[in-house]
Structure 1
Amino acid sequence: MLVHALVVAVLVQEAPAPAGEADRGPLATLESRVRELTLDNGWRFLLVSLPGAPVVAFETYAEVGSVHERPGITGMAHMFEHMAFKGSDRIGSLEWPREREAIGVVDARHGLLMEARESGDPEEIERAESLLRSAAELAGGFVASEEFSRLLENAGGTGSLNASTSADETRYVVSLPSNQIELWCWLEAERFGRGVLREFYRERDAVMEERRMRVESDPFGLLLEHLVLTAFLTHPYRHPTVGYAADIAAYTRADAQQFFAEHYGARRLVTAIVGDVDPERLEPMLRRYFAAVPSGPDRAPIAGSEARQTGERRIEVAFPANPFVALAWHVPALAHADSAAVDVAVRLLGYSRSSRLERRLVREDGSAAQVLVTGGFPGNRYDGLALVIGIPNAGVATATLEAAIDEEIARLAADGPSDEELAGVKRVARAELYGQMRDRVALASLLTEYEAKTGDWRNAFRRVDELAAVTADDVKRVLGVYFGATNRTVATLTAPAQAAPDGQPEGQEDR
């Protein structure tokens, strides 16, 4: 990959901070290499031919995330991400007709278990559980487990094969030698055109364990789940991506099939193919493999919106861990005109050792062990949150740390950044964008995200100019508009109350 890095570095080289519009030369060179293809079914492809190593990065971006879920099936987008590696009727099955019949038996036995649990009869529940286990074992005997993943890994995808789900999207990623492009086409068409939801209930148990690890046993996951629930009252960003435990436990394979039918389809897919590709030869191949994938649902707006917050919201969560505090403000979406200025403001507050909060709280007064700052949480396709997490040092109260965070934000809003400070932050932001454009995998991710979220992949390149145009007055303005007390939610992790000895009421002393 060293040759590739050197080649693309020539195409996209880091330049000094511009006085006005960012230097478009290197970006224009790379931008000109992007070729668009939209099939009749709506599937969008972005093809980028780059010289260098014979390697190709693939990312399929599905415009399906937790924002598309309804109450009762939270986490289903994430569940489907797991199922998307289970193969099709032609991949992963040793004998499809018999497996299909056995899957039907599993579904029926699961229905009996749900009925038994509703009855509350322990003997009926035990019997139903036993019947479900035997049916699942029978169905599993017809499965070539993990065959879909193994085909990609054996073709050179080991170490790069991945997927992720967020509030806004699901991503499917792999890098392969360029002589394996047709294999990827076949597998991806099978995934979205002929997928089979096999081993569903076993995978559901794995998702439940993932929730226990990421949320219920993790202080950060637990507090942030409560913070988002408090900050968003009606917008579906309030749904946790992993889902609620009660919803996960109630999933059925029919629920997942319905979710796929309602939300997946070619219209909601954007794929970037970056690296050693010849678009002229690749386009006919893409049409041959993907034209038959059903279009699926239109790219409709989500159900639900959030009214403007008019007063501060607070919540405390008890958990046996060191206390910390999280502050969040509603901020505009990626496509909004203020997005770049908010990005710069957030970077001035956090992101590096020289940032305002890091310098004040960690390096100068030592009140914080760590300060974490980010924007676009839990997503940025719609209006999301800017987030500051303060982890106090021993002996420092979370209220003290919160007050110091408030002081630094107020100071930046009143005085604005210095010229040197602002230039440094913009230089780092620009370097990060350039860094993404130097890497095939990161470039594929950047292009698909901007195409899906802003309607035009070219906005990824325009972002450099948008960041360069942000002024100190812009920073002061967006801090004043979005970072006020009435627009924020504060969540604090606290130690659980201690039980009094000998069953005495808490706070009563022995005498």
Structure 2
Amino acid sequence: MTKLYRLLACNLLCIMLAATANAAGLEEKVREHTMKNGMKLLLVERHSSPTIAAWIRFRVGSVDERSDERGLAHLLEHMLFKGTTTLGTKDYAAEKPLLDKIEATAVQLMDEKAKREKGDPARIASLKKELGQLEAEAAKFVVKEEFAEIYAKNGGSGYNAFTSKDGTTYLINVPANKLELWAAIESDRMQNAVLREFYSERDVVMEERRRSYDTEPEGQLWENFIAASYHAHPYGQPIIGWMSDIENLSRTKAEAFLHKYYAPNNAIIAIVGDIDTDRTIALVERYFGAIPQGTPVAPVAVTEPAQDGERRIEILADAEPNLIIGFHKPTLPDPDDYVFDVIDMLLADGRTSRLYKKLIVERQMATDVGSFSAPGSRYPNLFVISATPRAPHTTAEVETAIYEELGKLQREPVTEHDLRQILNRLEYEEVRQMGSNGGLARNLTEYEAIAGTWRYLIEHRQKVARVTPEDVMRVAKKYLTRENRTVGFITKKGAEK
């Protein structure tokens, strides 16, 4: 055994032992507490630094919107930074009547516009002018970014939020001695949020849509690819909403959605860091315990019909070619989902993966290649392979090369050596992801919401370890088929002939 090999083997052993110890330790360290109003707390004490990561995950995302609500979850992500009845305002008692007038005027304007060619242009112009005047008057009461300013003055960092198909998350890192400040701010936001500046923020989201999708070829490709992949299930709808969806969102609709779902029984809170668990539970109970429950988020009843033929989407644009291929697949806890974790890592995880070596190193026909599951995880999703051709190679050439590698998965058993390498990489990645307070808080809230238990973090690698070469061949034959795939690609204008 060479010195280099002994060193690599030692490093690998250390990683594996650390991952095993970390998983075992996590089982002992995570404290669960469910409050009477249904809020779930997941707490982990880590005293390596005097800081805390606090994540709030709501089990409501864009998949839970009705057809007349598309884009609401994303817009509410923006709006919940605007403040409450006490924060973000100089005088809420004086501000509220103006907000009510703004809403009444905006609804009239939307109703008139909805008449299309039968709408009265003069009335539309008059209502627009009135709305602008009311918004200018209401702006005098607004205190911009007061949440962020308070957190920043008290040592907070990473204050952010994100919306997905499956949920909405708000996060912050604070010094350990500022946990009560966090509890005061976030409990106030959960029960007293005010959606001020709603229509100006709606305009911001519309501009975001124009910039990221309508005028961005890769954004257009992804949006149309997902829409083509799902004909019935709401996973096919964009998180941000279509432009006409956003244009017809009202503050009244947003408030109804907010009060219905953004409530303790639909919330999971993870607090990781320099805490005393019992004191933290008591603190959270004191600030959040009296907040009433909302409506539980019901499962989406629609089931996507089985695809019975290849679907192809082409975007003509003044942009470089790009390729996306998606195959319908089950999601967790279906055993085949764990097989796809193996297929994902085998095909496109790192420089030793099959697609990287074949497309980028050996044949030099692509500049990048990747694979992932999308667009969500609560419901059956897609296994997606993406690649960017390298000139003079075309998307068609790259597509053919990808199918060649998928064919090998269907015909040739994966070696035990390959499976061991995948487990080693999984263990390393788990250690890396859970190394920070924020990384652990994210994983705890994510898997508690999606898998129904944070213990997925511990169980995942154990289940992947049971995947056999025969499983990989079976799943590849079952799902990675022509009739089950959707293909999207960008063709550069002028090159389509």
Q: Say whether the fold is shared (TM-score over 0.5).
A: yes
* Structure 2 counterpart SS, 1:46: strand
Q: Aligned partner of 2:271: which letter?
A: I
Contact in 1 for aligned 2:55/2:170 (Cα 8 Å):
yes
Contact in 1 for aligned 2:102/2:131 (Cα 8 Å):
yes
Distance 1:165 1:372 in 2: 23
Tell which deviates more after alignment, 489-498 or 419-428. 489-498
Contact in 2 for aligned 1:109/1:132 (Cα 8 Å):
yes
Distance 1:17 1:57 in 2: 25
Distance 2:52 2:333 in 1: 29
Contact in 2 for aligned 1:344/1:425 (Cα 8 Å):
yes
Aligned to 2:4: none
Contact in 2 for aligned 1:271/1:448 (Cα 8 Å):
yes
Aligned to 1:87: 83
Aligned to 1:440: 437
Query: 1:198-347 alignment to 2 at 5 Å?
Result: 198-347=196-345
Contact in 1 for aligned 2:12/2:424 (Cα 8 Å):
no
Q: Aligned partner of 1:490: which letter?
A: V
Q: Give, in angstroms, the shift of residue 263 of structure 1.
A: 2.5
Aligned to 1:5: none
Describe the superposition over 1:351-387 as per-residue Cα deviations: whole angstroms up to 9, x where unpaired.
Answer: 2111111110111111112112112x01111111111
Contact in 2 for aligned 1:374/1:386 (Cα 8 Å):
yes
Contact in 2 for aligned 1:22/1:464 (Cα 8 Å):
no
Describe the superposition over 1:412-431 as per-residue Cα deviations: whole angstroms up to 9, x where unpaired.
Answer: 22113233332222211221
Aligned CA distance change for structure 1 residues 243 and 402 (closer, same or farther; 3 Å):
same
Aligned CA distance change for structure 1 residues 205 and 23 (closer, same or farther; 3 Å):
closer
Aligned to 2:107: 111
Aligned to 1:142: 141
Give the TM-score normalised by the residue count of structure 2.
0.93
Aligned to 2:6: none
Aligned to 1:133: 132
Tell which deviates more after alignment, 29-38 or 299-308. 299-308
Aligned CA distance change for structure 1 residues 138 and 495 (closer, same or farther; 3 Å):
same
* Structure 2 counterpart SS, 1:374: strand
Distance 2:245 2:233 in 1: 18
Matched, 1:41 2:40: no
Q: Aligned partner of 1:289: which letter?
A: Y
Distance 1:355 1:258 in 2: 48
Q: Aligned partner of 1:275: which letter?
A: G
Q: Give, in angstroms, the shift of residue 115 of structure 1.
A: 4.2
RMSD of equivalent CA atoms: 2.0
Q: Aligned partner of 1:460: which letter?
A: L
Aligned to 1:61: 57
Distance 2:235 2:50 in 1: 40
* Structure 2 counterpart SS, 1:317: strand
* Structure 2 counterpart SS, 1:327: strand
Describe the superposition over 1:435-483 as per-residue Cα deviations: whole angstroms up to 9, x where unpaired.
Answer: 1121110100111111111111112111121222322222222212221
Aligned to 2:176: 178
Contact in 2 for aligned 1:335/1:453 (Cα 8 Å):
no
Matched, 1:192 2:190: yes
Matched, 1:153 2:152: yes
Distance 1:207 1:493 in 2: 25
Contact in 2 for aligned 1:15/1:23 (Cα 8 Å):
no
| Runs of 5+ unmatched residues, structure 1 | 1-12, 500-506
Out of 12, 27, 34, the position equivalent to 1:31 is 27
Q: Give, in angstroms, the shift of residue 58 of structure 1.
A: 0.6
Aligned CA distance change for structure 1 residues 266 and 245 (closer, same or farther; 3 Å):
same
Distance 2:494 2:243 in 1: 25
Aligned to 1:51: 47
Contact in 2 for aligned 1:263/1:296 (Cα 8 Å):
yes
Contact in 1 for aligned 2:19/2:428 (Cα 8 Å):
no
Aligned CA distance change for structure 1 residues 204 and 15 (closer, same or farther; 3 Å):
farther
Q: Aligned partner of 2:210: which letter?
A: R
Matched, 1:485 2:468: no
Aligned CA distance change for structure 1 residues 14 and 277 (closer, same or farther; 3 Å):
farther
Matched, 1:420 2:406: no
Contact in 1 for aligned 2:19/2:427 (Cα 8 Å):
no
Aligned to 1:458: 455
Distance 1:344 1:172 in 2: 31
The sequence identity of aligned pairs, in percent, is 37
* Structure 2 counterpart SS, 1:136: helix
Contact in 2 for aligned 1:320/1:495 (Cα 8 Å):
yes
Q: Aligned partner of 1:251: which letter?
A: L
* Structure 1 counterpart SS, 2:155: helix
